[in-house]
Amino acid sequence: MLSLFDATSDPTAPNPAERAAELRGLIQRHDVLYYQHDQPEISDRAYDALFQELVEIERVHPELRTIDSPTQRVGGEPIKDFATVEHRTPMLSLANSYTREEVLDFDRRVREGLGVDTVGYVCELKYDGVAMSLTYVDGVLVMGATRGDGERGDDVTANVRTIRSIPLSLASSDIRNAVVRGEVYMLEKTFLEINERADEAGEKRYANPRNLTAGTLKQKDSAMAAARKLEFVAYYLETPDRAITTHAESIETLSAMGFVTGRAVQTCASIDDVLTFIDRWDSERDTLPFQIDGIVVKVNAIAHQQELGAVARSPRWAFAYKYEALKATTTLNDITLQVGRTGVVTPVAELQPTLLAGSTISRATLHNEDFVQQLGLCIGDTVIIEKGGDVIPKVSGVDTTRRTEGATPWSMPHHCPCPRNAPLHRPEGEANWYCDDGQCPWQLRRRLEHFAGRDAMDIDGLGERAIDQFITAGLLTSIADIYSLASRRDDIVQLDRWAPKSVDRLLAGIEASKQQPYARVLFSLGIRFVGEGVAKILARAFPSIDQLIAATHDELTAVHEIGSSIADSIIDVAHDPSARELIEQLRAAGLQFTGQAPTIVSRAFEGQTFVVTGELTSMSRKEAHDAIEARGGKAAGSVSKKTTYVVAGASAGSKLAKAQELGVPVIDEEAFRSLLSTS
């Protein structure tokens, strides 16, 4: 295959060094638009295309790699041990208060300490995450360290670099050296997704976003950290490059340096304004996409802060106002069982629907048998539900004073709730019960849902309802059966709500899924620990499933992002006859189990050079390039007189202008597609 960036063989190819620098600038700009302003200008797909282009340049020209290149976020050497680093300025913690009186007391002490009548404050949300200290030297991020004991923390730079809202180089030209502190945290949505996957894979759930964040920062496998999407909010700046007089000014400066600052930073002229802010966020906190555990109040003037100083690791110029957990009571109508993808059986509370923190709650997991026994739950009880640190509402207690005579004790059933009723077992030393029935339709349902899901094979028309119907009708008894549904057309049309048109759509969706790339297929198989990110890494390191399955533990862990547990899990698959059989069936059905270069379709574009620019809707940039190369054409990165066609997608910019200037023919996506189909 022709290399896109082989400058020696093609005078029209862009200069890789210049293009790499340009791409880095573009990516940084789009990061700021996305994370700081919440206003992306390009789609995720277009962003990925820029990113991939840079990855490719750096792969071909490793000498062009820079320490602050965004590609360096994806994970580096495995971390052996986290070195201890000393904080030049200690990382303090905050004194807590819980009542209005305590807030007013604080204000009184501050005013007395300073000998003034009123003091200006800044209020911020107290993000519930992990404190982080970042060091920048000559504009480049050189260190990320946890708080530790306040004096010394752990060097977690490799993982910190994967956080996309942390600039690898500062956007400011005046401030080049700085210590920036803030909170690393996780969006509730990300947390829920990760826990959902943990559930499906039969792994332990994480207690709350903060624990998961802390665990992620201590990951030895930085590719895992990258896959977990952490966020960063900056709230403290120390720099020799500029004299800063107020905290509000620090926040503005941080923003100019390229950081995301708190979503609700407010300057308050007096303590009354502070109380208003506290009340406002007490009622609005459940509308935030992340968790806060309170409000932080800081004296605004830095001179005042210095005058007040600190006592025993807590500054006298700031405090945290802590909110209470959100609670409600309701009736426990029943306890049912849920069966996960790997056979873990979990009790679930079926609740009288009730409103908690803005959403209606009708179910809550009860985790396992012991949890139910420890609470001593009876069906019919009045239970307390709480939305605390772990985002998911949970049953946190029972009001036994309201127990009625009809309340019935519950014990863990010893058979699977599915119609096959297989016996369950609880391994010694574990809290979970498992269903080992390889034919269990409930497990199958979860596996199928994962396989067909949007992030996996993305099979249009094969949603939860369809899967249920097909299992019941005996049309799906394994994942492989999906690919024989085409021969069961007549049976499908017999089913409720399956008009011939919807069947066509489903079958087309199934057919299209055969083109899903190898990395996605790998993810879809639902191998333990093989999430989307890991699947991509594996597909790159082992370009075919046969190579992957033949790999030894050492070969697997030699891939620097792959840790021992992932390797074990792959080896389990290699030794599992039913997993091997499934792979063979899917291979026979035509799924992609290799990550090959595109096959040659024709030589129709021989001698022609294409430049694809702007955003395409029906294919990615990479797919367009592959399609061009598959027809013997060349896909170039910049427009010159020798360019045959410029393919301009939506919001095409400078390349389109250049084409018009040089009189190079410009075609739109539709014309490009029809050109492809006739070539």
Residues serving a catalytic function are: 126
Q: In whole angstroms, how close is the CB of 31 to ligand IVH at the nearest point?
A: 22
* Per-residue x/- track, 182-211, ligand IVH (CB under 6 A): -x----------------------------
Q: How far is the CB of 360 from ligand IVH (least distance, A)?
A: 30
User: Applying CB under 6 A, does 231 fall inside the site for ligand IVH?
Assistant: no
- CB neighbours of residue 649 within 10 Å: 20
In the block, tokens 């210049």 appear at 18
Q: Name the residue number minimizing CB distance to ligand IVH.
A: 131
Stretch that binds ligand IVH, among 68-76, 86-94, 340-348, 590-598 (CB under 6 A): 86-94
Q: How far is the CB of 299 from ligand IVH (least distance, A)?
A: 11
Residue 525 CB, shortest distance to ligand IVH, in Å, is 39
262 near ligand IVH, judged by CB under 6 A = yes
Both tokens assigned to 181: 């502190």
Match 């095409």 to its residue by tokens: 652
In terms of C-beta distances under 8 Å and separation of at least 24 residues, what long-range contacts does 400-405 make, across chains too? 400/376, 403/378, 404/380
**Residue numbers 120-159 binding ligand IVH by CB under 6 A:** 124, 126-127, 131, 147
- Interaction of residue 94 with ligand IVH, rule CB under 6 A: yes
Among 168, 194, 320, 440, binds ligand IVH (CB under 6 A): 320
- The owner of tokens 């309201």 is 402
Among 315, 461, 509, 632, binds ligand IVH (CB under 6 A): 315
Q: How many residues bind ligand IVH (CB under 6 A)?
A: 15
Shortest CB 296 distance to ligand IVH, Å: 4
Give dist(CA 208, CA 233) in Å, integer: 18
| DSSP per position, 556-622 | HHHSTT--HHHHHHHHHHHH-HHHHHHHHHHHHHT---B-PPPPP--STTTT-EEEEESB-SSS-HH
Kindly state whether residue 296 participates in binding ligand IVH, applying the rule CB under 6 A: yes
Q: Which residues are 86's β-sheet partners?
A: 152
- CA-closest candidate to residue 369, choices 392, 395, 397, 346: 346
* Selected range binding ligand IVH among 19-27, 91-99, 101-109, 278-286, rule: CB under 6 A: 91-99
CA angle 168, 169, 171 (to 5 degrees): 130
Q: Closer to ligand IVH by CB, 70 or 129: give it.
A: 129
Spatial CA neighbour of 484 closest among 440, 514, 454, 457: 514
The residue (of 296 and 652) whose beta carbon lies closer to ligand IVH is 296
Q: Which is nearer to ligand IVH, 122 or 648 (CB)?
A: 122
Restricting to residues 330-359, which ones interact with ligand IVH according to CB under 6 A? none
Tokens 């730079």 sit on residue = 157
Q: Is 93 in the site for ligand IVH (CB under 6 A)?
A: yes
- What minimum distance in Å lies between the beta carbon of 294 and ligand IVH? 8
| Closer residue to ligand IVH, CB minimum distance, 122 or 424 | 122
Instruction: Tell which phi-psi region holds residue 359, choosing left (phi > 0), alpha (psi between -120 and 50) or beta.
Output: beta
Beta strands across the sheet bearing 266-268: 95-97, 318-322, 292-299, 121-127, 266-268
Q: Which residue bears the tokens 């908690």?
A: 356
Q: 215 is written with which tokens?
A: 């665990």
Q: Which residues are CB-contacts of 540 (< 8 A; sequence separation ≥ 6)?
A: 519, 595
Are residues 633 and 605 in contact, defined by beta-carbon separation less than 8 angstroms? yes
- Only one of the segments 282-290, 314-322, 450-458, 568-576 lies at the binding site for ligand IVH (rule: CB under 6 A); that segment is 314-322
Contact call for residues 450 and 456 (beta carbons, < 8 A): yes
Q: Looking at 88-96, 278-286, 374-382, 498-506, which segment touches ligand IVH (CB under 6 A)?
A: 88-96
Which C-beta is closer to ligand IVH: that of 308 or that of 492? 308
Q: Which of residues 463-522 bind ligand IVH (CB under 6 A)?
A: none
Q: Which of 121, 235, 281, 523 binds ligand IVH (CB under 6 A)?
A: 235
Helix, strand, or coil here: 650? strand
Amino acid letter, 484 = S
Residue whose CB is less far from ligand IVH, 213 or 524: 213
Least separation in angstroms between residue 183's CB and ligand IVH is 4
Which residue number, 210 or 520, has a Cβ lying nearer to ligand IVH?
210
Q: Given the complex with ligand IVH, which of 127 and 410 has the nearer CB atom?
A: 127
Burial (CB count within 10 angstroms: exposed 0-12, middle 13-18, buried 19+), residue 427: exposed
Identify which of 373, 415, 365 has the alpha carbon closest to the alpha carbon of residue 391. Answer: 365
Helix (H, G, I), strand (E, B) or coil at 590: coil
Query: If binding is defined by CB under 6 A, does position 389 make contact with ligand IVH?
Result: no
Burial of 142 (0-12, 13-18, 19+ CB in 10 A): exposed
58 binds ligand IVH (CB under 6 A): no
The residues with which 579 forms a beta bridge, in sequence order, are none
Quote the CA–CA distance of 251 and 261 in Å, as a whole number.
7
Q: Which CB atom, from 127 or from 442, has the smaller least distance to ligand IVH? A: 127
Q: Which of residues 404-443 bind ligand IVH (CB under 6 A)?
A: none
Q: Which residues bind ligand IVH (CB under 6 A)?
A: 92-94, 124, 126-127, 131, 147, 183, 235, 262, 296, 315, 318, 320
